[in-house]
Homo-oligomer: A and B are copies of this chain.
Amino acid sequence: MTTRVLVWNENIHESTQEEIRAIYPSGIHGAIAEGLAELLGDEVEVATATLADPEHGLTAEVLERTDVILWWGHIGHDRVDDAVVARVQEAVLGGTGLIVLHSGHFSKIFTRLLGTTCSLSWRNEGEREIVWTTSPGHPIAAGVEQPFVIDKQEMYGEHFDIPEPENQVFISSFEGGEVFRSGVTFTRGRGRIFYFSPGDQEYPVYFHPQVRRVLANAVQWAAPASEDRATPAVSNPARRDWAALAGAAASTAETATTTEEATR
């Protein structure tokens, strides 16, 4: 079954700065989408949307048919409409996967889902970043070189104010000596979240083969596991007749017993 992916990017730098457009002629969203198509082919249907689109491209109809959202934002976080953010949060809690990238750590959607400031330390001097895998068995790390190097990147450093991650997948070191938990996972409601830090707009990070491998793995990992996409809600059940419910299951089990075949 095809995973329907939406790559969301505020697309402000690319629209207003020639030097950034030169690095990303199709926008950061275009480069990411291309990478996913390259590595996942028919497994995915990839669409893109930007801040400038009506409702930022995140209408109820679009969200209903989206399985995984990738999010890149930087200087336009405050311009994302609160009603749209609420809609995206509801989708994630219902099972839509979310992959937040780089400066998206300060996006409304990410800080809202995590509850912390998501602040960090930074320095943009084109330092070399080395990305180390700390969970080699994790699906997001499958086939990723240990370690891989990004020639020039913006430094992000600890203390990164996030909750304790469920899984710590990557940790990066920078030339200046800083470290950063660059690949971390969380679950919120039914939805899976992956934050991946490399990706400042001044460097061609989203063309990096290892970064493309990570994002492809992350899309596969974040896709909802179940058809059931309901956002968790309150229920108020009466006392149940468990004996009756058990009885139904028991007769089904007996049927299975009588048709059993030896396997060994």
* Chain A residues with a Cβ under 8 A of chain B: 23, 25-27, 29-31, 33-35, 37, 46, 48, 89, 93, 95, 112-117, 119-123, 125, 128, 130, 132-139, 141-143, 146, 148-151, 157-161, 163-164, 166-168, 171-174, 176-179, 181, 186-192, 204, 207-210, 212, 224-228, 231-240, 242-243, 245-247, 249-250, 252-254, 256-257, 260-264
A26-B263, A143-B226, A159-B232 known; A191 vs B137 contact (CB < 8 Å): yes
Residues of B within 8 A of A186 (CB): 163
User: Is the CB–CB distance between A136 and B226 below 8 Å?
Assistant: yes
Interface of A is mostly: mixed
Give me the 4 closest cross-chain CB pairs, A-B, nearest first: A137-B190, A161-B232, A151-B246, A139-B225
Given A137-B226, A264-B27, A93:B189 Cβ within 8 A? no
Contact (Cβ within 8 A) B34 A208: no
Q: Are A225 and B138 neighbours in the complex by a CB distance under 8 Å?
A: yes
Which of B117, B212, B245 touches A233 (beta carbons < 8 Å)? Answer: B117
Give the CA-CA distance A250 to B163 in the complex, in Å: 33
Given A121-B237, A130-B242, A116:B151 Cβ within 8 A: no
Taken together as a complex, chains A and B put the C-alpha atoms of A262 and B186 apart, in Å, by 32
The reply to whether A179 and B172 contact each other, CB–CB distance below 8 Å, is: yes
Query: A85: shortest Cβ distance to chain B, in Å?
Result: 12
B260-A177 in contact (CB<8A): no
Determine whether the beta carbon of A135 is less than 8 Å from that of B115. no
A192 CB contacts on chain B under 8 angstroms:
137
In the complex the two chains form, is A93's CB within 8 Å of B116's CB? Answer: yes
In the assembled complex, the Cα of A112 lies from the Cα of B247 at a distance in Å of 38
Shortest C-beta distance, A41 to chain B (Å), equals: 14
Partner of A117, one of B117, B130, B189, B236: B189
**Contact (Cβ within 8 A) B168 A173:** no
A33: shortest Cβ distance to chain B, in Å?
Answer: 4
B168 & A166 in contact (Cβ 8 Å cutoff): no
Q: A46-B263, A115-B113 are in contact. Are A135 and B164 (CB under 8 A)?
A: yes
Does the CB pair A264–B166 fall under 8 Å?
no
Give 15 A-B contacts (CB < 8 Å), ordered by A residue. A26-B260, A30-B264, A48-B264, A116-B232, A125-B239, A132-B179, A137-B192, A143-B226, A146-B159, A161-B232, A163-B186, A168-B181, A171-B179, A176-B239, A204-B254
Which residues of the partner chain B approach A158 to less than 8 Å between Cβ atoms? 132-134, 171
